[in-house]
């Protein structure tokens, strides 16, 4: 039986490290430098997983990789161990947004959930973008107002340059002495969430953003 242990963003991170090694090989850097690049990449990859079994360690071992085909096989093998996004029904998705009765949800059954760190779709009717993520073992969702932009900029989630839109959301934070108080937070985020999911390597910002929006301490 295959035990999945790699999250989408971790596979993206590994991919990035593999590209660094490939790049050094292509540039024909001196052997000692290439070996340092490989060692560093290996250390960073292993750092992602504090409790590896011996087999998992072997699976992640980059030391024997030389040709483009080797790298491809390596990544292909890892993809069998990826943890898919939570199996969730459309009904369960709707329950995350009890105030938005007309919310349209995507057809989960037809989606590939393997390469998703977060699930997102646009609710065209209300010009909103919906983000669903498993935060500390529990699925949470937020609705963001969407202001499209045609400019390229750095996405707050995946930290790479691409086509971004401005998203703002009203946080659930309340102040007892002022019931009218509300705080809105905005971000530039990839317009295409599939692209973002292919590039995100770290969920620190995404989680902090969701916690702040939902007022989770
Ligand atoms: Zn992004």
Q: Which residues of 124-134 are buried (b: 16+ CB within 10 A; e: fewer)?
A: eeeebbbbbbb
pLDDT confidence tier of residue 179, bands split at 50, 70 and 90: low
Q: What is the pLDDT of residue 75?
A: 96
pLDDT of residue 146: 86
Confidence of residue 29 (pLDDT cuts 50, 70, 90): very high
Q: Is the pLDDT confidence value at 181 over 90?
A: no
Contacts of 15 (CB under 8 A, 6+ apart): 75
**How far does residue 189's CA lie from ligand 1's centre (Å)?**
5
Least confident of 4-8, 116-120, 126-130, 205-209: 126-130
Hey, where are the domains in the chain? Answer: 8-79, 90-214
- For residue 182, pLDDT over 80 is answered with no
User: Ligand 1 centroid vs 132 CA: distance in angstroms?
Assistant: 15
Q: What's the pLDDT at 97?
A: 92
Cα torsion through 90, 91, 95, 99, rounded to 10: 80
Q: What pLDDT is recorded for position 174? A: 64
Q: Does the pLDDT at position 211 exceed 80?
A: yes
**From 5-14, 148-157, 165-174, the region with the lowest mean pLDDT:** 165-174
Please give the distance, rounded to the nearest whole angstrom, from the Cα atom of residue 196 to the centre of ligand 1: 4
Q: Is the pLDDT of residue 55 over 90?
A: yes
CA of 195 to the centre of ligand 1 (A): 7
Ligand 1 centroid to residue 17 C-alpha, Å: 18
Residue 5 and residue 171: Cα distance in Å, rounded?
A: 33
- How much distance in Å is there from the Cα of 16 to the middle of ligand 1? 15
pLDDT at 206 over 70: yes
Distance 71 CA to ligand 1 centre (A): 25
């Amino acid at each position: 039986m295959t035990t999945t242990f790699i999250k989408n963003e971790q596979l993206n991170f590994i991919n990035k490290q593999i590209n660094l090694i490939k790049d050094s090989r292509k540039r024909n850097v001196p052997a000692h430098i290439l070996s340092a690049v490989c060692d560093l990449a290996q250390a960073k990859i292993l750092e992602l997983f504090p409790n590896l079994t011996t087999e998992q360690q072997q699976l992640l071992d980059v030391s024997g990789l030389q040709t483009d085909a080797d790298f491809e096989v390596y990544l292909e093998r890892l993809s069998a161990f990826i943890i898919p996004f939570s199996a969730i029904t459309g009904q369960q998705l709707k329950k995350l947004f009890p105030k938005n009765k007309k919310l349209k949800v995507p057809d989960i059954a037809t989606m590939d959930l393997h390469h998703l760190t977060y699930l997102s779709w646009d609710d065209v009717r209300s010009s909103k973008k919906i983000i669903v993520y498993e935060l500390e073992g529990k699925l949470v969702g937020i609705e963001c107002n969407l202001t499209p932009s045609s400019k390229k900029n750095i996405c707050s989630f995946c930290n790479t340059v691409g086509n971004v839109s401005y998203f703002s959301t009203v946080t659930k934070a309340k102040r007892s002495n002022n019931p009218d108080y509300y705080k809105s937070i905005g971000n530039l985020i990839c317009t295409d969430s599939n692209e973002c999911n292919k590039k995100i390597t770290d969920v620190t910002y995404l989680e902090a953003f969701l916690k702040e929006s939902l007022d989770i301490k």
